[in-house]
Structure 1
């Protein structure tokens, strides 16, 4: 069996669904789109297991601009994604990210603050006295200050956003196909077809790699080495008997981060690079919480010395081993093969901006709203890393 589509998107998570929506919504595009979904339930996808965080406190201007695009999008989400005028609610709740700093971090904190404020981020610098007054439940004895997002940061329900993009795209004529891609046909430096596990092939004018943690496998079908790996991350949910009021999403200098989730809290921490292998399973290491996360939680918030672990889950980052930033746009030689990969935990909050940007590239051959050319594949070939100094 053989079929033809103008655009084939490999991956139906929030990135692939966003690209499909913005393509169908963009003036000048009048093509057919198929999104391949390996797991239509999304149970094991990166999107459904995301924390759903949205922040503007980055050090790279393009990352800040993408987060601001997200804020604008959330403010008009019903306008964009409503079907039959039904309001769209993705459970967005605004509260700031609080980056805590020791003495050694203060110069970087001020440098990042200058970048953020220049771009209009509503962020405030706090000293240790400010922290003590604002968060009396926090141990600030070893802290020199912090950076708090005053607006435009928070959390949303990742699954709801993915489904809103998906349903709106379907209403606009996008086909979501339950199928697993297993290969690509490349002829004369162009991807001519996507091969499916059921033995069929899907001819295409453009192919978009939005395959999340398996993106390097998809790129490998075209003979391309994409520096994106699947890296496991844990989230631990716990309850605390003592009230901890007014808690933002807190990023400790150790890298441990925690935030309120209803009447409970969730916490996590990325491991050191030497203890962060490629991984695709969902097994949970409870020892990681007991030995590494809990002691830091108890140090920072004395009330957390007495907590009850309620739940835990594992998900996977599409981790860019070059610089933990996105890889966007077409391949320099196979020019009808597009990348939207390597978000390293920031894909959800960057999905509207990325969807719109990739749609512009395919439709117009250039970025017209946000210039994201800095994230092109050419930097991978050159080994030109973009250093983001606010990665969590």
Structure 2
């Protein structure tokens, strides 16, 4: 690998140049109070196997924990404004946000109570979420089989899907225009002196000194942490997605719909995108991208054929598998500095929420680096301290 122009030392080294790493680089470089140098190390500039590229590209406000709601509320405003935010020489990226909403469905008393409780949390924070009775569901979504449903929770605005790679490459281009250095290389080791990481070692043979290191390496984040002698409860979990054709059209606006079973679907152009959390859901090799085709046949299609009668006849057009960097403690990101190795910052374990939370996480990490504290939004409940204590950050609305 050729890294011409690489300096011997950088104030901030970010390991992982996909959406989280690039968001951190952008917020740092655009902060007038930051005067340092930034290096982003990404092992594959095609990003073909990055979680960013292989995700379902969605964003929602419908979480149970106020902090997750607030992060996504900031995320959607960032996405809406991204064309101006990402502008370089007058040209920015429109992320084509489709605000069709999320629709969570409940078919028992416990699930209904959760939706009602979460609705209160969301609307108190300013999210536009509506609770829909069985009759409301039938009237608004005539294609939906609602006979067993007790309640629906529907995002009226600020939820939907968008151009995932547009966000990544727009952030990357803007960060580079602001002076951030990107190299295509792989971190193979870290040097640590006492309570500080002092340098990163690259596969190309180079060694780069650093003032602060950010671990934004996705499913490889556990391995990067181990290089510094640190442990995080994060592992790769495979998620298979299927794009299908349906002979019959669904009338009206179709949201990203989550069946009570956890199976979900949303429009994807003229087709539909479908997926589920597999059961069982074991850890996988981070380089295993084989599609679990049996999930569609055994878990997805049977459920959705009952929920949406038009889905009785479907044809799979294409499919792919991506990975969650899955936090086994509580399915939420671990973010911020390690309590002992204080110049090692985490951004790991998003468990499927990395794309939508990347603006808030990037902003928060940049504040930690520049000011030593969070300012816009306190992310400390998501810090490493909860891992040490074994205290989960509770979130009931996990997909």
Runs of 4+, deviation exceeding 6 Å: none
Match for residue 337 of structure 1 among 334, 344, 353: 344
8 A contact 1:237–1:309 mirrored in 2: yes
CA distance in 2, matches of 1:78, 1:133: 36
8 A contact 1:9–1:33 mirrored in 2: yes
Match for residue 262 of structure 1 among 269, 272, 276: 269
CA distance in 2, matches of 1:137, 1:95: 15
Match for residue 225 of structure 1 among 231, 235, 240: 231
Match for residue 362 of structure 2 among 345, 355, 363: 355
In structure 2, the partner of 1:391 is 398
Q: How does 1:12-51 map to 2 (within 5 A)?
A: 12-51=17-56
Give secondary structure in 2 for the equivalent of 1:292. helix
- After superposition, the C-alpha distances for 1:334-388 in whole angstroms (9 at most, x for unaligned) are 0000001111101010111111110000000011100111001011000110111
Match for residue 291 of structure 1 among 294, 298, 318: 298
CA distance in 2, matches of 1:321, 1:278: 13
**2:88 is aligned with 1:83:** yes
Can you give the 5+ residue segments of structure 2 that lack an aligned partner in the other structure? Answer: 1-5
Give secondary structure in 2 for the equivalent of 1:208. strand
8 A contact 2:304–2:311 mirrored in 1: yes
Deviation at 1:2, TM superposition (A): 7.4
**2:136 is aligned with 1:119:** no
CA distance in 2, matches of 1:62, 1:50: 22
CA distance in 2, matches of 1:60, 1:188: 36
In structure 2, the partner of 1:324 is 331
CA distance in 2, matches of 1:355, 1:287: 37
Deviation at 1:286, TM superposition (A): 1.1
- After superposition, the C-alpha distances for 1:185-225 in whole angstroms (9 at most, x for unaligned) are 00021000001112211100000000011111000011111
Q: How does 1:1-392 map to 2 (within 5 A)?
A: 3-104=8-109, 105-245=111-251, 246-272=253-279, 274-280=280-286, 281-392=288-399
Deviation at 1:77, TM superposition (A): 1.6
CA RMSD of aligned residues (A): 1.1
Aligned residues: 391
Give secondary structure in 2 for the equivalent of 1:30. coil
Which stretch of structure 1 is more off in the superposition, 98-107 or 6-15?
98-107
CA distance in 1, matches of 2:391, 2:180: 36
In structure 1, the partner of 2:3 is none
- After superposition, the C-alpha distances for 1:58-109 in whole angstroms (9 at most, x for unaligned) are 0011111101111221232233210011132122111110000012311111
Deviation at 1:277, TM superposition (A): 2.5
- After superposition, the C-alpha distances for 1:283-331 in whole angstroms (9 at most, x for unaligned) are 1121111011100010101111111111100001111110011111100
TM-score by length of 2: 0.96
CA distance in 2, matches of 1:275, 1:350: 23
Give secondary structure in 2 for the equivalent of 1:313. strand
8 A contact 1:2–1:201 mirrored in 2: no
Give secondary structure in 2 for the equivalent of 1:275. coil
8 A contact 1:96–1:249 mirrored in 2: yes
TM-score by length of 1: 0.98
CA distance in 2, matches of 1:275, 1:210: 23
CA distance in 2, matches of 1:19, 1:87: 19
CA distance in 2, matches of 1:126, 1:349: 25
Distance 1:233 1:210, change over 3 A: same
Which stretch of structure 1 is more off in the superposition, 170-179 or 239-248?
239-248
Give secondary structure in 1 for the equivalent of 2:83. helix
8 A contact 1:3–1:203 mirrored in 2: yes
